[in-house]
């Protein structure tokens, strides 16, 4: 028996590995070494091997990793070898962008409904009144809720999603949501991302500077 904790830093790198392996597979590559991955991804080769070994020994000494095999393993680790039903909450700018994104289905995510509380947005485009979410939830298992509402509706929307039994929340508002701890919330904060860009634009020379020591 040993402790099998996955470091946060490793979790954040997993999608990148997956994306890279998909690209290799499309390019027809059959095998890949940690040294080549290191070059292409800009990560240390030891780190890559160590990351993968948190989940299992997927490689073969003297050979490397099978592209197809490793991609499959990572898909399984991420849970991408199954399908998810998802609802989009809020049909504003972001909600409609997600609605229009036509690659969700091929990645395993079925958008089974888009809801808003603003009657003006409930036109012919398939957006429904939020009050109809309960009906849908009765006939369909909804695993993911994507929150794209205004900040002031974010928490009540999260509560509603928890009530209908979603297993995870993708949160595009900057509100820090209060949900049971067994329901992961993945935050996408575009403002924060833009601010971080600004910081880097303004502090290029600040990595090493002189400063007075009193």
Partner DNA sequence: TAGATTGTTAATCGATTAACAATC
Neighbouring C-beta atoms of residue 171, cutoff 10 Å: 23
Helix residue ranges, H only, the chain = 8-26, 34-41, 45-53, 67-78, 93-100, 104-107, 133-139, 151-163, 190-202
Q: Three-state DSSP class for 69?
A: helix
Q: What does 44 interact with, of DNA, a copy of itself, none (CB < 5 to 8 A by kind)?
A: DNA
Instruction: Please tell me whether residue 61 binds a copy of itself under the rule CB under 8 A.
Output: no
Q: Which of residues 145-184 bind a copy of itself (CB under 8 A)?
A: 167-170, 174, 182, 184
Instruction: Please tell me whether residue 15 binds DNA under the rule CB under 7 A.
Output: no
Contact 170, 188 (CB under 8 A): yes
CB of 74 to DNA, least distance (A): 13
Instruction: Please tell me whether residue 59 binds DNA under the rule CB under 7 A.
Output: yes
Q: What does 189 interact with, of DNA, a copy of itself, none (CB < 5 to 8 A by kind)?
A: a copy of itself
Select the residue interacting with DNA from 15, 39, 40, 50 (CB under 7 A).
50
Instruction: Please tell me whether residue 76 binds DNA under the rule CB under 7 A.
Output: no
Alpha carbon dihedral 196, 193, 81, 109, in 10-degree steps, equals 180
Q: Which is nearer to a copy of itself, 63 or 199 (CB)?
A: 199
Strand 185-187: give its sheet, edge to edge. Answer: 127-129, 109-116, 84-89, 144-147, 168-171, 185-187
Instruction: Please tell me whether residue 3 binds DNA under the rule CB under 7 A.
Output: no
Instruction: Please tell me whether residue 39 binds DNA under the rule CB under 7 A.
Output: no
CB of 189 to DNA, least distance (A): 17
Rounded to whole angstroms, the Cα distance separating 68 from 24 reads: 9
Instruction: Please tell me whether residue 34 binds DNA under the rule CB under 7 A.
Output: yes
Q: Three-state DSSP class for 15?
A: helix
Can you give the binding site for a copy of itself, defined by CB under 8 A?
A: 1-6, 11-12, 14-16, 18-19, 77-80, 84, 92-94, 96-98, 100-101, 107, 109, 143-144, 167-170, 174, 182, 184, 186, 188-204, 206-211, 213
């Amino acid at each position: 028996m040993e402790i099998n904790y996955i470091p946060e830093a490793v979790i954040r790198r997993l999608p990148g590995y997956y994306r890279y392996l998909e690209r290799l597979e499309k390019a027809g590559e059959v095998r890949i070494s940690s040294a080549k991955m290191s070059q292409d991804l800009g990560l240390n080769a030891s780190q890559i091997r160590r990351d993968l070994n948190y989940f299992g020994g997927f490689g073969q000494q003297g050979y490397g990793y099978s592209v197809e095999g490793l991609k499959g393993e990572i898909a399984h680790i991420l849970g991408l070898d199954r399908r998810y039903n998802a609802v989009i909450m809020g049909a504003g700018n972001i909600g409609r962008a997600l609605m229009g994104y036509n690659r969700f289905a091929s990645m395993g995510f079925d958008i089974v409904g888009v809801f808003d509380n603003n009657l003006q947005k409930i036109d012919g485009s398939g957006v429904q009144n939020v009050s109809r979410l309960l009906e849908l939830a009765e006939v369909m298992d909804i695993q993911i809720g994507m929150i794209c509402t205004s900040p002031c509706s974010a928490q009540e929307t999260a509560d509603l999603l928890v009530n209908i039994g979603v297993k995870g929340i993708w949160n595009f508002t900057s509100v820090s949501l209060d949900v049971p701890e067994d329901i992961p919330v993945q935050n996408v904060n575009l403002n924060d991302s833009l601010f971080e860009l600004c910081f880097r634009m303004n502090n290029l020379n600040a990595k090493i500077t002189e400063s007075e020591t009193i």
